A and B are shown apart, each in its own frame.
Chain A
């Protein structure tokens, strides 16, 4: 089983798709890397030679930020927004949507599971 970028072990899928299991590698980056490494993206991940795998790994190491490092980078950006106390940082701090979405209803991804409030809307008693 090929190992690329640390612990990621993409499986029997075509390498073009298998690489997308790495955090930070999407459709575009995947195809870019494969064309640079001159590997046919339609071949299965396990069919690749060790040399091809290591070549892909080198490209990723050199030009891409993936996995832990990328996660850390994202966190740092958020941290920065929080520290300069700007509007976006404030929204992150409060766990509300950051990009101007409505919060009257929905926004559940940011706000978490809904908390029922007595007396609001159709809840009995009103």
Chain B
């Protein structure tokens, strides 16, 4: 189910303020964030975020195409390394 239009998109306040501050100073430094649920708004375009995936921070460079998606969509939380090889019988780790 989609979010009520009345509320507008969910944007993490703190993150948004930080982006604005950087934009005002014309600085583009990567921003570390845990706000995966935050929608990418047009103001974010051109900034790089380091979005936490539960373990690492993944670099996400926001382009115009990404507007409307959530930051978390670009920072995958699962790692699939293929199925167990029957002959070796051991799951390859890491």
Contact = CB atoms under 8 A, between A and B. Distances in A.
Partners in one complex: yes
Interface stretch (A3-11, A65-73, A84-92, A105-113): A84-92
Per DSSP, chain A at the interface is loop
A119 interface: yes
Interface residues of B, number: 10
A80 B72 CA distance: 17
A118 interface: yes
A84 B86 contact: no
Contact of A86 (B74, B83, B86): B74
B73 A118 contact: no
Nearest to A118: B86
A53 to B, nearest CB: 38
Contact of B73 (A86, A117, A119): A86
A21 to B, nearest CB: 31
B65 interface: yes
Interface of B: 63, 65-66, 69, 72-74, 76, 83, 86
Given A80-B65, A84-B65, A87-B74, 12 more contacts: A83-B65, A84-B66, A84-B74, A85-B74, A86-B66, A86-B69, A86-B73, A86-B74, A87-B72, A87-B76, A117-B83, A117-B86
